[in-house]
Amino acid sequence: MLGPVPSPSPVPEPQASRPGASPAFESTIPIIDIRSTARSVTVAALEEGIRNGVLAGLSRPYNEKELPNLLLYNEGGLRLFEQITYQPDYYLTGLEIDILSRYAHQIADSVPDGAILLELGAGALRKTALILDALEAQGKAVTYFALDLDKPELLRTLAELKGRYTHVSLAGLWGTYDDGCTWLKQIKERPRIILWLGSSVGNMTRKEAGQFIRTFGDVLAPRDRFIIAIDSRYHKLDDIRAAYNDRAGVTRRFALNALGNINDLFNANVVDVSCFDYNPYYNEIQGRNEAYFRCLKETQFKIPSETPILVHEGEYIRFAFSHKYDRVERQMLWTAAGAHPVQEWASRDGDYALTMLSWAS
């Protein structure tokens, strides 16, 4: 049952699994429900919002139709995206792991003992573990929180780290990013570090990205930090295109899974997935990859209680984009967020970077 955000939500004491701990102790990784009826949504309300987005997006004119990118992230989609991150063509993961492998101890140096480390999203933790391993090596009593609205995903990913640490504690926050921001307002007695990996900021428009980061900046104190990973425009075009259309076809399956998810959301045969193919396009002017479904033959979306929506052969439906940032655009993003970059860790060729932001005056 949903209720108000705890006031304040409990923060586990730094006592993660340790050598010799009992199996029962090691298997207990707390998941704190921070969902709020005032600011968050139930799963049913979230799904209803996605359904409304599907109807609104498909009601647009020819070649202007769009679908919400949240369709991508059902349980099957999350598993497929994890597979994408292991593909050689998906260079973003490799570059991020390279940066973290070389600089994790420097990043850990900037995390105070006793801090809270809050990660936005609970994807595969093999990257985050590099930072946690460095914190463990430094003997810092840090509490790591993974924030996600998908509770099974929280449980699955945190289980990967079970029993790994003595000094670092692990916990999950079950809620939206808005809920996480509200929860942070109540946790003021400990230093707070926000971690946002995977260049996920690219999934937002540039305006939305600045506003989103500023939302957290409005909560953080001068001693707190926000670490964000961001991809650049500087890669070879063929490398960017391959990253979003890998040779193994995992990205294609990930995309088409979103169409199948429409049928699940409406509990009806809304769309014939075989009538579409995945068609990514890198827009050099906008500096972003744009993901489309291309209609292979004329078909209809048959949403229950709605007039069937005709889609013509050759018509495109956009469902996602991934923005890239050059150095000037990164600085503009920090300015829009009201933040100051205090340290940056870049890939060997400078094409990918982790930036630590501060709102200290």
Q: What is the pLDDT of residues 250-287, one digit of tens each?
A: 999 999 999 999 999 999 999 999 999 999 999 999 99
- DSSP structure string for 222-287: TT-EEEEEEE-S-S-HHHHHHHTS-TT-HHHHHHHHHHHHHHHHHTS----GGGEEEEEEEETTTT
Domains in the chain, start-ordered, CATH in brackets?
28-272+325-361 (3.40.50.150)
pTM: 0.88
Ramachandran quadrant class, 194 (left: phi over 0; alpha: psi -120 to 50; beta: rest): beta
Q: What is the pLDDT of residues 189-248, one digit of tens each?
A: 999 999 999 999 999 999 999 999 999 999 999 999 999 999 999 999 999 999 999 999
Contact 139, 167 (CB under 8 A): yes
Average pLDDT over residues 101-110: 97
41 — pLDDT class (breaks 50, 70, 90): low
Q: What is the pLDDT of residues 116-144, one digit of tens each?
A: 999 998 776 899 999 999 999 999 999 99
H-run or E-run covering 194: strand 192-196
Inter-residue long-range contacts of 23-29, CB under 8 Å, 24+ positions, other chains counted = 26/162, 26/163, 27/162, 29/155, 29/158, 29/159, 29/162, 29/170, 29/171, 29/172
Diameter of the chain by CA atoms? 64
Average pLDDT over residues 304-316: 97
